[in-house]
Amino acid sequence: MCQPTNQLKLCTCATNELRKVPATWEFHRFVEGKDHYIIGLMVGPPPISLEEDEANSTRLQARLNEPDAFDVDLNPQPNDRLVLCFRTNQGTYHYGYEFTENQWTAIDYDPFGWEQHHALAKKGCLEE
């Protein structure tokens, strides 16, 4: 269970209320041999400036790689993925990360591509 702090925390609590929470996360486990294709087009929210997007991604990546970022040990393995979702009045913004070389690294979020070789393993809310 999460305890309030001044740092962003990825919590496994309140998952039954995720649709009402403004910020959520999903952990996707790499599945060897999975080859599931989905065809479609993701429609995103209005773009934010490249500078703001990169700054957000960098700050989030730094936090993800701190030892107390999660309220549980996800035991991430190489090629596992994590997406952080922020709902605003303009739309939902996604920040994708892949676990490589023992750390989270920013990658593009493509929900259809991620489904091809990964399975949703855990999800939760982001709290401060």
Summarize pLDDT for 54-68 with one digit per residue, the tens.
Answer: 999 999 999 999 999
Give the DSSP letter string of 9-45: EEE-TTGGGGGG-SEEEEEEEE-TT-----------P
pLDDT average, residue stretch 8-15:
72
How many Cβ atoms sit within 10 Å of the Cβ of residue 48? 13
> Can you give the pTM of this predicted structure?
0.83
Domain boundaries of the chain, sorted by first residue: 21-38+49-88+103-119
Q: Which helix (H) or strand (E) holds 106?
A: strand 103-107
